[in-house]
A and B are shown apart, each in its own frame.
Chain A
Amino acid sequence: MVKFIFTFSLLLCFLSAYCQNVNLQQEISLPKSRYQLSELLEEITDQTKAQFSFTSELNTNKRVQLSDSVSSIRDILNQSINLKNFKIQARGNKIFIISIPPYDRKYRISGYISDAKSGEVLINATVANLSNFTGTVSNNFGFYSLSLKNKTHLLQFSFVGYKEVLLDVELERDTTINISLQPKTILQEVKVTADERTNNINHLFVSSNSFQAKNMQQTGVFGENDLFQNLRHLPGVQNSNEGLGGLNIRNGSPDQNLILLDDVPVYYSSHLMGLYSVFNQDAINQVKLVKGGFPAHYGGRVSSVLDIRMKDGNTKKLEGGYSLGLLTAKFNLNGPIKKDKTTFNLSIRRTYLDLLINGILDLSGSNVNAGYYFGDLNWKIVHRFSQRDKLYFSTYWGGDLYSIKSSEDISTNIREKVRYKLGWGNFTNSLRWNHVYNNHLFGNTTLILSRYTFLLKEKRSEKNNDSDYIENYNHEFKSGIRDFSFKTEFDFIPDYKHYLKFGLEASLHHTKPGSDFLKNTRDNNPGISTDELIKSKEVNLYGEAQIRFGKKLLVNMGTRWSSFFVDNTYYSTIEPRLNSQYFLTPKWSLTGSFSQMTQYLHLVRTSTLSLPTDLWFPVTKKIKPIDSFQYTAGTHYSFNKSVKLNIEIYHKLSRNLLDLKETSYFQDVSSDWEYMVENGKGWSKGLEIELSKSKGKTNGNIAYTLSRSRVKFESINNGKAYASPYDRRHNFSIQVNQFISNKTKFSAFWTYGTGLPATLSTSNISAISPYDPSSFETKTVFTERNSYRLPDYHRLDLSISFTKKKKHGTRSWDISIYNFYNRKNTSFMYVSTDNNTYTDPKLKKIHLFSFIPSVSYSYKF
């Protein structure tokens, strides 16, 4: 037995000594930094006793430059040998440098895809390898990366509305190829040059729509081409009131939409109380709307994401345009500052209602000067330092301003001048740096400043006879929110089957519920100055992986960890996300998704509309963040490259939604809001169907949404569930664009929607007077929330545009009619009683925009 143990132990010792692998992590010190490869291998052998084994394919005469004098064996070999062609393995005391067969070698092709005419990057353009129908898509900055085996490939670069580029490539090393696609003229025939299997490579079509701004031509009230108006022909997207009230997506309120302009959140996205969006179409390159199945890199709101990318500017030549409409004038100029290096894009828009009104007032000899206007300025500058580095700086300033100036004699020798100003607007800035670390890794780092301000000013001054005016009253009120954010995000693309995205966001939110400044020298009162600032911090970490399983299943899974700090309160949430798409055939796929979203900022409404006076507040100990859980399932069928059918169902649960308590009134919103609201839950479900044709002389889309949305609050409506304010059972729209010729385009848009819920006061009570307990007054009360419905909504819009090429550009006349058959759509209704008799109450319905014709002229050069 002892003999056996001794022999066995000895055997083990020998075996272990024999099998001991060379440790590739072993560090060695090299006396020189430059070697011939054969000399280097000998040096390693001398120091480690490791034997090298390699084929004649390895060029041992190659000169090698090393970065460090002390390094591990693996690092030294990695620096010296092309790992695309050879792999390194250690076995026993031997190091094998094995040649990879040529057909197994992988090289990477990467670069940017852009518009050949303007140089504008193309987002979500497809790169397909036609030999095996694998591929990828370009990211938000037009960057793509694809790994291919070492042989000849036929690559197809394509994007909707552009001519495809077919490229024969034979890769021998990692290669950068920037591709420019030529835009198609609209009437060019559709030529299908490739298999349908290239259509959907790496695209996930879960509850999302992407558009290029140049294809969005839907006009709204007064003929203004408006982003929100263009989105309203999509299923699941509606507006709450005729022309007013913002955008409602899948029954969510406007404040539940995350609206990003070049990665910067925009807090108030409407002009003129919600009639128009704040986004000037001239400045926009691409828009992506996500209604469900949210990827992990989006977060902070619970209903939808609207990701808007501004144009970088033409890299080839200076171009621009202007337009004059009934309501607005617009101007755009963009082009290279330094060709192919630095570009700029400037867009300006302004209404001139105030000029018209003041002109009329001046003509009538009035002492009053009043007006309202809104304006926007978009500015972007992009500089390309190299193929790997780009710097972007973009700014948006937009605001609405209402002002009144008047003067009058308040006594025989004293004249008073009064000035009121009421304004609100956004100011956003982002500084972004794109860096291609290597052909696998793309990084984007952003610094963000976003500000929304509501401002009210009143100034009074007086003068005696011929003296100058002296200011004696000055009152200012300000509220708003300001964000300072840092965001860094990486796209890691190891191969065509995997696309990884991960990043970090950190934000400081400064919320100002209301600051007052009052200086009143007239009554010798001391000045008042109150200011309150709520500081909160938000940190988010996220990671997502898009993985292709075989050729039929595409899955995007990820997680977002969000955390929020305010005062001494801390919230943290793990938000799982899962999207999947299974291709039954190249044309037909099934989709499914689950996503959890958390919103840490609440919008407290001061009325039933989405008004600029509404205040953003961070969560508190009492008021918790909104959580939503959304499930979707759908199917997508492509009849051909132009005609597509999408059907999707969704189910959304939300908790910690806010509504005003039944008996609340705002005494001081800034300090009392959390006691005036109550939190509850809501659930929405719906079916969305969309049939679209994107190419050809006749194109357009048909959309239908069937939905139901309910909310429940413990102390509202006797604790019974009731219809949410955005519950529209049926919503149908059809949009048709017909190119009559190369120069003339006709469009028609018809929409129908079930009436929205309304709350009416249909009961009276007797209420004691707070000033005289023996006296009583009749007060109306609201006993049931949203128990009535506005009448059904429908309207038809028509437009025709005539374009003509001129010597220096293209001019266009656009004539449009809003609400062609003059449907009186009810925007609001209320119960009205004769104030004298208090009898015979009537239902009053308010209609806004009826038949409105408009015309605009534009010129592009």
Chain B
Amino acid sequence: MNYFKLLTSLILFLLLVSCEEEEELPEAKSHQIISVNSLIGVDSLIQVKLSKSTGTSVEIKYISDARITAQKNDKELGEFIYRQNGIYELPGQYLASESKYQITVTHPSFKKITTNTFAPEKVSINDIKLVNDESEGKTTFHLKFTDDASQNNYYMLLVKGIANNKSNVIQYYSNDIVFEGNLNVNDNDFDQNMLRGSRSFSDKNFESSQVEISFYILNNDFFVDYPKYKIELYHLNEDYFNYERSFVSLQNKDDILFSNKTNLYSNVEEAFGIFSSYALDYKIVSKQ
């Protein structure tokens, strides 16, 4: 939605006539709640990280004494083992695509939590082309893949710059309709909506199952000259898609006073957090 523009102008107006006062924060009126964090790729070890809400402190409080059990397609998989820093693992169990997983978390101080995810199938990149336009200072990519039109699909596209055997997620832009204006070139302009910067997209704007997306990076955005780029296409389930968009939306809202008081997307009832899965395909291309 383009109401970001309106909010910005409203804030400008209020700045003219408002003043601000600072006070000590009143005592928190909330109880502690578990936070579940788990985004698992197909063929990856099944892991869950548990922590609890911390009040006004930012120091993470891990939970090490919870009992977590898992089911795969309604059959018991076993019990997680605690490793460290709130991380629990299901030994020897790797996420299989096209399977439903459910975990149950029990802890004497918290309500029992149950959540589940359906692991998607990998969607392969059919083709990736890179065009380096030095005069405009940008590098353009053309990506092709095949979308299964028989179901609703959600995707995420990440671009990583590779240098010295290390890769970093880097900023890219696109005027392609699949991003619904979230990745326009002028992303600092207040024409953008609350989802500006979101790298996920759904197949609702695809015109055919043979999808071609164009996106580009601006060479001046980076201090490092990346000789190679890793293009990652994530096939997400709907919970992951909602989580990514909610994550971006909260970042963009930041301190806007009048934004709705909502929390990060969660598919975990009676708790915060996300338990979801994805399937990844990637290609590495060299700068020409």
Interface residues of A (CB under 8 A from B): 273, 372, 402, 420, 422, 456, 458, 475, 477, 514, 520, 523, 525, 528, 605-609, 611-613, 660-669, 759-773, 776, 778-779, 781-785, 787-788, 824, 826-828, 830-833, 838-839, 841-850
B249 CB-CB contact with A under 8 Å: yes
B118 CB-CB contact with A under 8 Å: no
Residues of B within 8 A of A850 (CB): 19
Q: How far is the CA of A841 from the CA of B255 in the complex (A)?
A: 13
Q: How far is the CA of A372 from the CA of B5 in the complex (A)?
A: 14
Instruction: Name which residue of chain B comes closest to A275, CB basis.
Output: B13
B247 CB-CB contact with A under 8 Å: yes
Residues of B within 8 A of A772 (CB): 169
**A784–B57 CB distance below 8 A:** no
Q: Which of B1-49 contact A (CB under 8 A)?
A: 1-3, 5-7, 9-10, 13-14, 17-26, 28-31, 33, 35, 37-41, 49
With A606-B260, A607-B256 already in contact, 9 other A-B pairs whose C-beta atoms are closer than 8 Å? A273-B10, A608-B261, A663-B263, A663-B264, A763-B53, A770-B243, A773-B39, A776-B49, A846-B19
Residue in contact with B17 in the complex, picked from A660, A842, A849, CB distance below 8 Å: A849
Instruction: Name which residue of chain B comes closest to A759, CB basis.
Output: B261
Q: Total number of A-B contacts with CB less than 8 angstroms?
A: 217
**A782–B38 CB distance below 8 A:** no
**A607–B169 CB distance below 8 A:** no
**A663–B259 CB distance below 8 A:** no
Q: How far is the CA of A760 from the CA of B55 in the complex (A)?
A: 12
Q: How far is the CA of A67 from the CA of B148 in the complex (A)?
A: 78
**B56–A665 CB distance below 8 A:** no
Residues of B within 8 A of A846 (CB): 14, 18-20, 257
CB A468 to nearest CB in B, in angstroms, measures 24
**B247–A767 CB distance below 8 A:** yes
Instruction: Name which residue of chain B comes closest to A676, CB basis.
Output: B262
18 A–B contacts, CB within 8 A, in A order: A420-B191, A606-B3, A607-B256, A662-B262, A662-B263, A664-B262, A665-B262, A667-B245, A764-B54, A765-B33, A767-B37, A767-B264, A768-B38, A776-B49, A783-B53, A830-B257, A842-B24, A846-B20
B237 CB-CB contact with A under 8 Å: no
**B29–A787 CB distance below 8 A:** yes
**A843–B23 CB distance below 8 A:** yes
Residues of A within 8 A of B194 (CB): 665-666
Residues of A within 8 A of B58 (CB): 764, 778, 833, 838-839
**A762–B30 CB distance below 8 A:** yes
B226 CB-CB contact with A under 8 Å: no
> In the complex where A665-B194, A665-B246, A847-B21 touch, is A767 in contact with B259 (Cβ < 8 A)?
no
Residues of B within 8 A of A663 (CB): 246, 262-266
Residues of B within 8 A of A660 (CB): 260, 262
**B9–A372 CB distance below 8 A:** yes
Residues of B within 8 A of A605 (CB): 260
Q: How far is the CA of A845 from the CA of B22 in the complex (A)?
A: 6
**B25–A842 CB distance below 8 A:** yes
Residues of B within 8 A of A782 (CB): 261-263
B196 CB-CB contact with A under 8 Å: no
> In the complex where A783-B33, A787-B29, A843-B22 touch, is A763 in contact with B56 (Cβ < 8 A)?
yes
Instruction: Name which residue of chain A comes closest to B240, CB basis.
Output: A770
Residue among B199, B259, B272 having the largest count of chain A Cβ atoms under 10 Å: B272
**B37–A768 CB distance below 8 A:** yes
**B258–A607 CB distance below 8 A:** yes
Instruction: Name which residue of chain B comes closest to A785, CB basis.
Output: B261
Residues of A within 8 A of B180 (CB): 668
> In the complex where A528-B177, A665-B265 touch, is A768 in contact with B5 (Cβ < 8 A)?
no
CB B282 to nearest CB in A, in angstroms, measures 14
Residue in contact with A422 in the complex, picked from B6, B22, B23, B266, CB distance below 8 Å: B6
Residues of B within 8 A of A776 (CB): 37, 49, 60
Q: How far is the CA of A273 from the CA of B274 in the complex (A)?
A: 37
Instruction: Name which residue of chain B comes closest to A765, CB basis.
Output: B35
Q: How far is the CA of A839 from the CA of B7 in the complex (A)?
A: 27
Residues of A within 8 A of B191 (CB): 420, 458, 475
Interface residues of B (CB under 8 A from A): 1-3, 5-7, 9-10, 13-14, 17-26, 28-31, 33, 35, 37-41, 49, 51, 53-58, 60, 86, 156, 158, 169, 175, 177, 180, 191, 194-195, 199-200, 240, 242-247, 249-250, 255-266, 272-274
> In the complex where A611-B6, A762-B55 touch, is A372 in contact with B272 (Cβ < 8 A)?
no
CB B158 to nearest CB in A, in angstroms, measures 6
Q: How far is the CA of A505 from the CA of B263 in the complex (A)?
A: 42
> In the complex where A663-B265, A768-B38, A783-B30 touch, is A842 in contact with B55 (Cβ < 8 A)?
no
Residues of B within 8 A of A830 (CB): 255, 257
> In the complex where A273-B10, A665-B249 touch, is A520 in contact with B21 (Cβ < 8 A)?
no
Residues of B within 8 A of A661 (CB): 262
**A841–B1 CB distance below 8 A:** no
Residues of B within 8 A of A525 (CB): 175
**A766–B257 CB distance below 8 A:** no
CB A127 to nearest CB in B, in angstroms, measures 50
> In the complex where A767-B247, A783-B53 touch, is A848 in contact with B18 (Cβ < 8 A)?
yes
Residues of B within 8 A of A778 (CB): 58, 60
Instruction: Name which residue of chain A comes closest to B254, CB basis.
Output: A835
Instruction: Name which residue of chain B comes closest to A758, CB basis.
Output: B261
**B261–A372 CB distance below 8 A:** no
CB B89 to nearest CB in A, in angstroms, measures 13
CB A416 to nearest CB in B, in angstroms, measures 12
Residues of A within 8 A of B25 (CB): 760, 762, 831, 841-843
Residue in contact with A765 in the complex, picked from B6, B39, B53, CB distance below 8 Å: B53
Q: How far is the CA of A612 from the CA of B39 in the complex (A)?
A: 38
Q: How far is the CA of A722 from the CA of B16 in the complex (A)?
A: 34
CB B61 to nearest CB in A, in angstroms, measures 9
Q: How far is the CA of A60 from the CA of B33 in the complex (A)?
A: 97
Q: How far is the CA of A845 from the CA of B86 in the complex (A)?
A: 37
Residues of A within 8 A of B242 (CB): 665, 667
CB B42 to nearest CB in A, in angstroms, measures 13
> In the complex where A763-B56, A824-B21, A850-B19 touch, is A607 in contact with B7 (Cβ < 8 A)?
yes
Residues of A within 8 A of B156 (CB): 770
Residues of B within 8 A of A273 (CB): 10, 13
CB A484 to nearest CB in B, in angstroms, measures 27
Instruction: Name which residue of chain A comes closest to B195, CB basis.
Output: A667
**A783–B31 CB distance below 8 A:** yes
**A613–B3 CB distance below 8 A:** yes
Q: How far is the CA of A772 from the CA of B168 in the complex (A)?
A: 10
Residues of B within 8 A of A843 (CB): 22-26
Residues of A within 8 A of B57 (CB): 764
Q: How far is the CA of A402 from the CA of B13 in the complex (A)?
A: 11
Q: How far is the CA of A607 from the CA of B5 in the complex (A)?
A: 13
**B5–A841 CB distance below 8 A:** no
Residues of B within 8 A of A770 (CB): 39, 156, 200, 240, 243-244, 247
> In the complex where A762-B30, A768-B37, A788-B26 touch, is A456 in contact with B20 (Cβ < 8 A)?
no
**B22–A784 CB distance below 8 A:** no
Residues of B within 8 A of A769 (CB): 247
Q: How far is the CA of A828 from the CA of B256 in the complex (A)?
A: 11
Q: How far is the CA of A761 from the CA of B55 in the complex (A)?
A: 9
Q: How far is the CA of A845 from the CA of B277 in the complex (A)?
A: 41
**B29–A781 CB distance below 8 A:** no
**B240–A763 CB distance below 8 A:** no
CB A176 to nearest CB in B, in angstroms, measures 54
Residues of A within 8 A of B259 (CB): 607-608
Closest 3 pairs between A and B when the two form their complex, measured CB to CB: A783-B30, A613-B3, A762-B28
CB A29 to nearest CB in B, in angstroms, measures 74
Q: How far is the CA of A782 from the CA of B6 in the complex (A)?
A: 25
CB B103 to nearest CB in A, in angstroms, measures 15
Instruction: Name which residue of chain B comes closest to A664, CB basis.
Output: B262
Residue in contact with B54 in the complex, picked from A765, A768, A831, CB distance below 8 Å: A765
Residues of A within 8 A of B1 (CB): 514, 606, 613, 666, 668-669
Q: How far is the CA of A827 from the CA of B273 in the complex (A)?
A: 32
Instruction: Name which residue of chain A comes closest to B31, CB basis.
Output: A783
Residue in contact with B55 in the complex, picked from A422, A669, A763, CB distance below 8 Å: A763
